[in-house]
Structure 1
Amino acid sequence: MSDETILTNARLVLPDGVAEGTLVLRGGLIAEVATGRSAAPGALDLGGDHLIPGVVDVHTDNLERQVMPRALARWPAVSAFLAHDSQVAVAGITTVLDALCLGDLGFDESRMRTARDGVRDLGALTAAGALKAEHLLHLRCELPATDMLPMLEDYHEHPLLRMVSLMDHTPGVGQYLDPDRYRALRVRGGARPEEVERRMVELTAQRAAWSEPNRRRLLALFEGRDVPLATHDDWDAEVVARNAADGIAISEFPVNLAAARAARAQGMAIIAGAPNLVRGGSHSGNVSAAELAREGLVDIVASDYVPAAMLEAAWKLAEGGMPLPAAVATITANPARALGLADRGRIEPGLRADLVRLRALGGTPVVGAVWREGARIA
């Protein structure tokens, strides 16, 4: 039985343009890219639908949402991981970095259990061949947390680790640069105002004691290694300059225009959130991703917390004036390049046959089929 698949009558989104053509898949790879239609028996006619590379998602918290589908309703870990995998696959994501938090600042202690279970299940389900998408590991390291470093030392040599991000969710910096917004958020979550004030003082002191030594140890663990480092929620040029000087090459979700401009000046890759683009703004009051895109300050789009937002975000970028190949590259070629995954992210002979068939209905891309290494997964 032949392992060859022919996809024809497709609008191929290539690195430098869109062309009507045909792909031949063989041995899990793209064997041929040709213009025009194929008359070969068994060729699958895509009816003029778009065909793009499989989506590469560098950051999703979606596993956490499956583990806790409702407050106080914790789902069995393996079932949650499989549900997460299915949602990722039907969204056209063929390579996904599961972003797991190391270190608790009092937001949700159960996230540490989710991280430990997630690392365990990632390894076991991958080894069993049970996952539709290829799952890799992204460790999100909360620098001021007293329990971050022991967890990092457990996982820093994990064979599926592909990205590490440095985070700081202390009120007064990063995402919580405005302390009043932090206060309002915690009170809406049910905390008493006096409790919030006490906790803010504690967290500021904890940051002063732990952030710097944890940062130095993290950087030492990854010095000279081929694991991309990112910083989360950069907030000013001074912070960005320090990160660049430490060899950090990715700015993930800068919270304002000034930080994004500084990241660009330092030659860093900039990640924006797909939900920010789809919703038309940040849910947390940070800079609009569309505004960043208008200034050429979006290199990579990540799903953050909604896998299905990836394709729609790329189409939003195209609607905003970005050429479609460049918009698609923000969710395919650019993240693959940032992760050092040279075998995917583009429709070219010799690369992995990770592909998504879709058509736009009223401006919204709808997935028709997904292939990973030439095998249909959705």
Structure 2
Amino acid sequence: MTTFTNARLVLPDQIRDGSLSVAQGRIAAFGGSGADVDLEGDYLIPGIIDLHTDNLERQTQPRNNARWPSRSALLTHDAQCAAAGITTVFDALCLGDIGFGKARNQTFEDAFVDLRALLPLGALKSEHFLHLRCELPAPEMPGMLARAIDDDRVRLISLMDHSPGLSGQYADVERYRQMRRDEGVAEGELDTIIAELQDNHHAYHGPNRAFVIAEARQRGIPLASHDDHTEADVARNAEEGIGIAEFPVSLAAARAARARGMRSIAGAPNIVRGGSHSGNVAVLDLVREGLLDALASDYVPASMLEAVFCLAAREILPLPAAIGLVTAGAADIAGLDDRGRLAVGLRADLVQVRVYEGLPVVRSVWREGVRIA
């Protein structure tokens, strides 16, 4: 048995000074006779659960024209997650090209193989699940989904449509044009890309949507919508049994999701940066209205811890409730009832945190009682 002493235990509804004992990878008791790990008055929180991270994509393509070896990229991504206090990570892999040169498709193909190879070896620090992001206008998406969906690591599927000028994050076609110009795409090539993506939307969105929903329902895999704009978007999703609104881009959509009993996920970087990088709703507004169930790292693993301490420092939420957005709330959405809280019998996924001049810093991380960072 290991006892963590001199801790500020962040429980679901309070912060309590004390100690916690761990045995066989589980929280055994509050209190304990040993003094195996002195936390020196730091916070002890549950391991963070990240339902959506694109961080692996950033490691596989650190620069536009520089692709990194996939297995090395996965190990780097894993280490960054562990260092950020994330003990459970849902690798969000895109299925289907949306005009970015097939790079995302390659990331999926490589990561799917690499995860299956590395998991049995015990080479990964955090526990990894798969979040399959299905791009509905992509003709190749159904085949990619069929190859992956029966893997037992697939725990979440989201429906996306990033067709420029039509739906999703790029509904504003001029914003999309400017983003691609900044990436160096020539105007003539850009016109071709937009026309092709819009044609694919009209040809494939409907049948692909029906296919994904049917396949997920058959296996009991939770479904999320992505980038909902309007109440009509939310109504359609709810009627088709989609229970999660991921990254709603308007306050109206988030309110509609809550009214229909859907769970909502938003990006932690939005809070850290003080707003959306793409002109969408401020996540702080969702939190103030009680419309949010979980935060995800989106593209910066360290953002999750910083965001929740920001919420507490600004007195928008008490710290236990803020921590719940990256622990218990995420666990509930994913159906992971063995983690996400400091409670006897749950997994000893633990993070030691100290605040330096307002900034939370991860000092140590344990997964099932074993130190990983």
The question of 1:178 aligning with 2:175 is answered no
Bigger shift: 173-182 or 111-120?
Answer: 173-182
**Could you say what secondary structure the match of 2:82 adopts?**
helix
1:302 alignment partner AA: A
Does the aligned pair in 1 maintain the 2:9–2:15 contact within 8 Å?
Answer: yes
Per-residue CA deviations over 1:80-102 (Å, capped at 9, x if unaligned) read: 11111111101000000001100
Give the share of equivalent positions with the same residue, in percent: 56
Aligned-residue offset at 1:42: 3.8
Task: Indicate whether 1:316 and 2:307 are aligned.
Answer: no
Q: 1:278 to 1:147 in 2, by over 3 A?
A: same
* SS of 1:170 mapped into structure 2: coil
Structure 2 CA distance, aligned partners of 1:363 and 1:217?
Answer: 47
Code of the aligned partner of 1:313: A
The aligned residue for residue 63 of structure 2 is 70
Give me the whole-angstrom Cα distance separating, in 1, the residues matched to 2:41 and 2:52: 31
CA distance 1:18–1:41, shift in 2 (3 Å): closer
Report the alpha carbon displacement of residue 222 of structure 1 after superposing the two structures with TM: 1.4
Structure 1 residue identity aligned to 2:84: A
Further displaced range: 22-31 or 167-176:
167-176
Aligned to 2:4: 7
Of the structure 1 ranges 103-112 and 189-198, higher mean CA displacement relative to structure 2 is found in: 189-198
**Partner SS for 2:174:** helix
Letter of the aligned partner of 1:11 in structure 2? R
CA contact (8 A) 2:60 2:69 kept: yes
Aligned to 2:196: 202
Q: CA deviation at 1:305?
A: 0.5
Q: Which residue of 1 aligns with 2:360?
A: 365
**1:138 equivalenced with 2:131 (yes/no):** yes
Q: Which residue of 2 aligns with 1:115?
A: 108
Offset of 1:41 from its aligned partner? 4.3
The Cα of 1:190 is off from its aligned counterpart by: 1.8
Q: Report the equivalent of 1:22.
A: 19
Q: Distance in 1 between matches of 2:155 and 2:323?
A: 22
Q: Distance in 1 between matches of 2:148 and 2:358?
A: 42
User: How big is each residue's C-alpha offset from its partner over 1:227-283, in whole Å with a ceiling of 9 and x where there is no partner?
Assistant: 111111111110111101111111111111111111111111111101111111111
CA distance in structure 2 between the partners assigned to 1:332 and 1:19 by the alignment: 18
Q: Separation in 2 of the partners of 1:143 and 1:273?
A: 22
| Local SS of the residue matching 2:21 | strand
Counterparts of 1:276 and 1:316, CA distance in 2: 12
* 1:217 partner SS: helix
2:180 alignment partner, SS class: helix
Whole-Å separation in 2 of the counterparts to 1:41 and 1:176: 56
Distance 2:51 2:101 in 1: 23
Task: Determine the C-alpha separation between the residues in 2 that align with 1:290 and 1:17.
Answer: 22
Give the equivalent residue in structure 2 for 1:59.
Answer: 52
The secondary structure found in structure 2 opposite 1:223 is: helix
Work out the CA distance in 1 between the residues paired with 2:177 and 2:68: 30
Contact 2:95/2:133 (<8 A) preserved: yes
Match of residue 162 from structure 1: 155
Does the alignment pair 1:256 with 2:250?
yes
One of 32, 44, 47 as aligned partner of 2:37: 44
Say whether the 8 Å CA contact 2:348–2:368 is kept in structure 1.
Answer: yes
* Structure 2 counterpart of 1:267: 261
Comparing 310-319 with 20-29, greater Cα deviation is found at 310-319
Q: Tell me which residue corresponds to 1:303.
A: 297
Aligned counterparts of 2:329 and 2:30: Cα–Cα separation in 1: 21
Q: Secondary structure at the match of 2:164?
A: coil
- Is 1:225 aligned to residue 219 of structure 2? yes
Task: Give the one of 114, 132, 147 matched to 2:140.
Answer: 147
The one-letter code of the counterpart of 2:204 is: W
Residue 305 of structure 2 aligns to a residue whose secondary structure is: helix
Give the structure-1-normalised TM-score: 0.96
Report the alpha carbon displacement of residue 177 of structure 1 after superposing the two structures with TM. 2.0
Structure 2 portions without partners, runs of 5+: none
CA distance in 1, matches of 2:123, 2:182: 40
Distance in 2 (CA, whole Å) between partners of 1:110 and 1:171 is: 18
Distance 2:203 2:34 in 1: 68
What's the CA shift string for 1:289-319, capped at 9, x where partnerless? 1122111122100000100111001111212
Render the CA deviation track for 1:5-52: whole Å, top value 9, x for unaligned: 100111101011110111000000000024xxx5x3443221111000
For residues 108 and 6 of structure 1, the distance between their equivalents in structure 2, rounded to whole angstroms, comes to: 51
Q: 1:161 to 1:324 in 2, by over 3 A?
A: same
Work out whether residues 99 and 197 of structure 2, in 8 Å CA contact, stay in contact via their aligned partners in 1: no
For residues 231 and 107 of structure 1, what CA distance do their matches in structure 2 show? 22
C-alpha displacement at 1:224, in angstroms?
4.2
- More displaced 10-residue stretch of structure 1: 223-232 or 244-253: 223-232
AA of the residue aligned to 2:52: H
Q: Corresponding residue for 1:277?
A: 271
AA in 1 matched with 2:60? V
* TM-score of the superposed pair, with normalisation by structure 2: 0.97
CA distance in structure 2 between the partners assigned to 1:212 and 1:309 by the alignment: 35
Question: Following the alignment from structure 2 to structure 1, what is the Cα–Cα distance between the partners of residues 101 and 283?
Answer: 27
Q: Give 3-state SS (helix, strand or coil) of 2:117's partner.
A: helix
| CA–CA distance in structure 2, aligned partners of residues 71 and 65 of structure 1 | 10
